Structure 1
């Protein structure tokens, strides 16, 4: 399951017994994503260039482009709870989002696990507890502060902003020096919203972001663009 998001085509849900077992846990049926969705994903991997915008889309499904250092993928929304989205890549790797924030990941070179979010001491603060198993980190705690910021300079952020003018906000970790040494210099999370956020908005009541970036390690960040 490592070396996620390679550029070659992969098999889809239920193509392997492991994926079918995983789907039983998160989907009402293994057939929730049909051949049309698979075809769209496989089309994203044809040829040497990753032209995701040119991939034919089935309007019955929601797509999200995801990038990690050195690799990228088009994902499909497999299931949605009131505040939880489960996204699948072509080879079965999984990204779960709680609102705009990463809840956990499966199959990356670095993964978040056992993430818990809770209201902070102020409206625009959020308390976070999480594990990064690949770094040997467990029960790490941090407080996030939401604030306006400049847009990131990545190609995916530029693509998201070009199609929809976005308003940019970061979630900076307060007391960054209190994090484990393995997370020293961890960049803030960044989100791009379709509209400006009301002043003083509670961090637990944010609208859905078009773009998000959250770092799992100082040099390993995951970006996503809902399309």
Structure 2
């Protein structure tokens, strides 16, 4: 119950500093999510096993839900724009990306009943951005990537910060726009060195 009370709603939370001062319940994993100057803590509710990688399901106290697989947004509900039924066709492993590499993404979007929206997504490594919202230590030691999507609905580029643990990639930070007006960033919280 404490973990749920820690998970502020996007709609009510106004201070990122307040989220960062929150004393977290032990034994839970959190995600700090920011959008349009507001911040929230989401708690890891469950992990769904999938052949392409585990899907983490994160919940806020106001029923916002993010589904994240290998650091990429696989679903967002309870927000003004929702992504549902997101399908990624063979996205590359982060550590294997040395130059531009593409994959396909399909998704359903609300509002507007936009079903089976299709994007060609190209991922490539970049230097650490100067305008990132990442607040953890060791940002310069992280591997940074950008994903550019081409589709009917123009979206700003997504960005990710990746570290390596036990020989595998772990995305510790991501930024993704769901539409032209709603962009979110998320970061594993508390930030680790």
Cα distance in 1 between the residues matched to 2:13 and 2:178: 29
> Residue 67 in 1 paired to residue 43 in 2?
no
Cα distance in 2 between the residues matched to 1:211 and 1:169: 11
- Give the structure 1 partner of residue 173 of structure 2: 211
Which of 67, 87, 96 is matched with 1:116 structurally?
87
How far is 1:168 from its partner? Answer: 0.7
Give the number of the structure whose residues are more often strand, by fraction: 2
How far is 1:118 from its partner? Answer: 1.0
- Give the structure 1 partner of residue 145 of structure 2: 169
> Residue 57 in 1 paired to residue 24 in 2?
yes
Alignment partner of 2:169: what SS?
A: coil
User: Structure 1-normalised TM-score?
Assistant: 0.66
Structure exhibiting the larger radius of gyration computed from Cα positions? 1
- Give the structure 2 partner of residue 156 of structure 1: 133
CA deviation vs aligned residue, 1:150-190 (integer Å, no higher than 9, x gap): 43455632x135578422101122xx3xx22xx23x11211
> Residue 105 in 1 paired to residue 76 in 2?
yes
Unaligned runs of 5+ residues in structure 1 are 1-34, 199-205
Alignment partner of 1:218: what SS?
A: coil
The answer on whether the counterparts of 2:32 and 2:188 sit within 8 Å (CA) in structure 1 is: yes
145 and 155 in structure 1: CA distance in 2 versus 1, 3 angstrom threshold: closer
- Give the structure 2 partner of residue 20 of structure 1: none
Question: What do you get for the CA RMSD once the two structures are aligned?
Answer: 3.1
Which of 157, 167, 189 is matched with 2:158 structurally?
189
How far is 1:71 from its partner? Answer: 2.3
Cα distance in 2 between the residues matched to 1:41 and 1:126: 33
Aligned residue pairs: how many? 175
User: Structure 2-normalised TM-score?
Assistant: 0.76
Which of 38, 45, 61 is matched with 2:4 structurally?
38
Which of 131, 136, 141 is matched with 2:118 structurally?
141
Give the number of the structure whose residues are more often helix, by fraction: 1
The answer on whether the counterparts of 2:34 and 2:184 sit within 8 Å (CA) in structure 1 is: yes
The answer on whether the counterparts of 2:7 and 2:59 sit within 8 Å (CA) in structure 1 is: no
Alignment partner of 1:217: what SS?
A: coil
57 and 128 in structure 1: CA distance in 2 versus 1, 3 angstrom threshold: same
The answer on whether the counterparts of 1:160 and 1:210 sit within 8 Å (CA) in structure 2 is: no
